[in-house]
Every structure is written in C-alpha cells, then in structure tokens.
C-alpha cells in the first residue's frame, strides 16, 4: 500500500486534475499472484486511493468487489479497466472458478450497453491473454483465455484497442475476428523496472526502463501512434543522471499511418517476408538493452514462434501454426518466470 500510495501521489502531483485510469497488477498483492474472488482490504484500500480518478461511486463499488470499473471520457469514449490477474495461471485461488468476482458477466453487460449506445471502447488490464513469445508462455488459464477472447471477438466492432503490461517486453498482438479479418489490436507496454529473471539454467533478457505515450483519436479511440521513451541504464549509470530519450515512433518504424487493427495486421503480414522489420521488433522487445544478441540468436524456429504468437491466441492454434511452419512443437517456458516487479499500469489520458 505504501508503494501504491507513493506512485499515486507522484502521478497526482505531476498531472494535477488529469484523469488516470489505473489497473492492479499481480505483484500489487502480497504474496504475489493471490488476488481473490472475495472482497479484501487491499481492494478497498486501493479503491480509496483511486476513487477520485474513477470518479463514479457505482464504479468505485465495482473496484471494491474485484478491482474492475468503467468510465466514460468527456469525449464519449468508454474506458474499461479490468483485473485480469484473476485469470493468471499463477493465481491458485481462482483456478477452478468460472467467473471470479463476476467480472465476465459484468464486462458483457458493459459491452452490450456500449454497443447499444454507439460507444467505442478502450480496455486496459495488467496480464494479457494469448501466448507470449519467444518461449510459448500461456498467461491465462485456458478456460479464462477462451471466455475472454470469445467476449472480445463478439464485441470486436466496438473495442478499438487493448493495453496491457506484465510481459516486461515491448510487443503487440492482433485478435482476429472469426474468419480471420483484423479484430482488436493488443499492445503490451514494456516496464519501468529493468527486471530480469534468473534461474539456474538461464537468465532472462535484460531490458532498459521504458515509458510510452500512446496517441489516439479522442472520439473514436483508434490508436494512432506509440512514442516509446527509454532510459539507457549503462549511459545513465556512467553519467550519474537519468537519461530519458525517444526510442522510436511506431508509425515511422513500421510504416503505417495509425495503429488500428488493419494497420497492425499490415505490420504482422510484413514481418513474414521482411526479416529486417521483424529484427527491429525483436530489438525493441528488450528496449534496446540486448544490442543485436537477441536478434542474432533468433533462428528460423524462433521467428516462426513470433509469427504465430502475433495472431494465435491459444496453445492448440499456436501449435498447429508452428508445426505448419517448421514442424515439431515450440519449447515451453513456465509462466512464473515472467512475473513483474512493478506491476501496476497507469494510463494517463492527456
């Protein structure tokens, strides 16, 4: 709670009077990954901290139930903040449930109402669905992954973007509609903490601290661009001063006029034939911390994992995509290797 309070206060001081739409992460609990289906003092205490950002008593009550809420921006865009930590494979409390805290039923109702009202929707949450690559890491329990994606597909005509964290990797995916046309773009923000896992056989990739500015159309919600900033830790340590600078602008790097589902689909298709474009993406995964090491280490099989992971959202479809490209099945990593140290995400709408 001290950490959450410090960061909340820092944001309130830096952005006075500006709405911040925050979501809880798996490490905002102690011990980690144990966000419960029931009311809890941590849900309540966090609701108290973020009450004036949420700004609607009914939604603050939802947050007390399970850390989810929805608000409408002054421009008429619907924001939905979810607690996807409940679906995370490391949360043993919710493994055998069907709809912890009733969040799915609530989400369906909010989306139905949004559709009736003609609203466009942006969703934010910490843990992303689908398969993380490289390593073929499944984040959600399978039954939650299926339900989450089914709901998202049903409303893919009104959901214009999803924003996640947790991966500690800069990345994106595309949820396809039934039939394969572009549905919803999903963006995974790299983290501020340069955390890397260490296990006896292997260390995770290092990465630099990162923060991003997402440009979006305030009426339609369509993501227009990402300006990715980073701090080069080596230089900052050498100079004894933090050295934040721009890493890239997505529109320029990937040659698109916006980051809509169609544009992200264009990028993903280009990756299949343009090796240097995928190299760029892999370099950005680690926020430039790994030089060309990661790129050079990514062989044909690793590239097949990437190309399947962008659009294949469950293990079965991922495996069949992978086999079709290289034969055999992708290596499997434990999802616990990727637990974040700095879990909460804060979207500041300016």
The closest of 166, 164, 109, 108 to 137, measured between CA atoms, is 166
In whole angstroms, the minimum distance from the beta carbon of 255 to Zn ion comes to 31
Reduce the DSSP state of residue 324 to 3 states and report it: helix
The nearest distance, CB 272 to Zn ion, in angstroms, is 30
Stretch touching Zn ion by CB under 5 A, among 22-30, 107-115, 135-143, 227-235: 22-30
CB of 191 to Zn ion, least distance (A): 8
Two tokens, residue 150: 């089914």
Q: How far is the CB of 192 from Zn ion (least distance, A)?
A: 12
Contact yes or no for 184/261 (Cβ under 8 A): yes
Residue that has been written with the tokens 């992978």 in this structure: 322
Answer whether 64's CB lies under 8 Å from 43's CB: yes
* Closer residue to Zn ion (CB): 125 or 149: 125
Q: From CA 326, how far away is CA 330, in angstroms rounded? A: 9
Length of the chain: 350
For residues 156 and 177, give the distance between their C-alpha atoms in angstroms, rounded to a whole number. Answer: 7
Burial 124-159 (b: 16+ CB within 10 A, else e): bbbbbbbbbbbbbbbbbbeebbebbbebbbbbbebb
Q: Which of residues 318-347 bind Zn ion (CB under 5 A)?
A: 340, 343
Q: Give the residue with the Cβ less far from Zn ion, 162 or 340.
A: 340
Q: How far is CA 136 from the centre of its chain?
A: 16
**Which residues within the stretch 222-261 sit at the binding site for Zn ion (CB under 5 A)?**
none
Residues 77-136 that bind Zn ion (CB under 5 A): none
Closer to Zn ion by CB, 32 or 260: give it: 32
Is the backbone peptide bond immediately before 134 cis, with ω within 30 degrees of 0? yes
Least separation in angstroms between residue 94's CB and Zn ion is 16
Q: Which is nearer to Zn ion, 110 or 133 (CB)?
A: 133
Rounded least distance, CB 278 to Zn ion, Å: 25
Segment contacting Zn ion by CB under 5 A, of 23-31, 170-178, 217-225, 238-246 = 23-31
If the CB atoms of residues 325 and 335 are measured against Zn ion, the closer one turns out to be 335
Query: Do the Cβ atoms of 19 and 53 come closer than 8 Å?
Result: yes
User: In sequence order, what are the residues at sequence separation of 6 or more whose Cβ sits closer than 8 angstroms to the Cβ of residue 18?
Assistant: 348, 349, 350
Query: Which residue number, 133 or 340, has a Cβ lying nearer to Zn ion?
Result: 340
- Identify which range of 24-32, 54-62, 240-248, 295-303 contacts Zn ion by CB under 5 A: 24-32
Interacting stretch for Zn ion, rule CB under 5 A, among 2-10, 87-95, 163-171, 189-197?
163-171
Task: Write down the least CB distance from residue 237 to Zn ion, Å.
Answer: 25
Q: With CA atoms as reference, report the closest residue to 137 among 270, 287, 331.
A: 331
Strand, helix or coil for residue 135: coil
Nearer to Zn ion, 30 or 74 (CB): 30
Which residue lies nearer to Zn ion by CB, 147 or 168? 168
Q: How far is the CB of 280 from Zn ion (least distance, A)?
A: 25
Q: Which of 21, 23, 25, 175: binder of Zn ion (CB under 5 A)?
A: 25
Is residue 67 within 8 A of residue 83, CB to CB? The reply is yes
Pure H helices in 119-184 = 142-154
Task: Give the shortest CB-107-to-Zn ion separation in angstroms.
Answer: 20
By beta-carbon proximity to Zn ion, the closer residue of 85 and 232 is 85
Query: In terms of CB distance, is 15 or 195 closer to Zn ion?
Result: 195
- Is residue 26 within the footprint of Zn ion (CB under 5 A)? yes
Q: What is the dihedral of CA 299, 232, 280, 213, to 10 degrees?
A: 130
**How near is the Cβ of 18 to Zn ion at its closest, in Å?**
25
Which of 172, 156, 150 is CA-nearest to residue 121?
Answer: 156
* Residue closest to Zn ion (Cβ): 340
Which residues of this chain interact with Zn ion, rule CB under 5 A?
Answer: 25-26, 166, 340, 343
């Amino acid at each position: 709670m001290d950490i959450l309070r410090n960061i909340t206060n820092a944001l309130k001081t830096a952005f006075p009077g500006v709405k911040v739409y925050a979501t809880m992460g798996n490490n905002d609990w102690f011990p980690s990954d144990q966000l419960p289906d029931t009311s809890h003092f941590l849900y309540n205490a966090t609701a108290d901290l973020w009450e004036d950002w949420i700004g609607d008593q009914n939604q603050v009550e939802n947050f007390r139930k399970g850390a989810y809420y929805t608000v409408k921006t002054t421009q008429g865009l619907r924001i939905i903040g979810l607690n996807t930590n409940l679906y995370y494979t490391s949360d043993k409390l919710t493994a055998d449930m069907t709809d912890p805290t009733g969040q799915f039923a609530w989400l369906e109702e909010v989306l139905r109402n949004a559709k009736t009202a003609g609203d466009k929707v942006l969703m934010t949450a910490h843990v992303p669905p689908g398969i993380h690559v490289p390593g073929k890491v499944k984040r959600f329990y399978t039954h939650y992954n299926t339900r989450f994606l089914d709901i998202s597909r049903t409303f893919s005509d009104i959901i214009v973007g999803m924003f996640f964290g947790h991966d500690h990797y800069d990345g994106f995916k595309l949820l396809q509609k039934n039939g394969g046309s572009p549905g919803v773009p999903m963006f995974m923000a790299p983290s501020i903490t340069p955390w890397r896992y260490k296990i006896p056989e292997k260390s995770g990739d290092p990465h630099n601290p990162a923060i991003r500015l997402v440009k979006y159309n305030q009426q339609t919600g369509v993501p227009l661009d990402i300006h990715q900033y980073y701090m080069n830790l080596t230089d900052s340590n050498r100079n004894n001063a933090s050295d934040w600078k721009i890493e890239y602008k997505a529109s320029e790097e990937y040659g698109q006029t916006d980051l809509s589902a169609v544009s992200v689909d264009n990028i993903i298709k280009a990756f299949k034939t343009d090796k240097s474009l995928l190299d760029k993406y892999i370099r950005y995964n680690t926020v430039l911390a790994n030089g060309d090491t990661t790129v050079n280490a990514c062989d044909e099989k690793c590239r097949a994992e990437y190309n399947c992971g962008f659009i294949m959202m469950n293990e079965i479809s991922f495996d069949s995509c992978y086999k079709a490209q290289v034969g055999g099945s992708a290596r499997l990593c434990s999802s616990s290797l990727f637990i974040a140290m700095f879990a909460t995400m804060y979207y500041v709408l300016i």
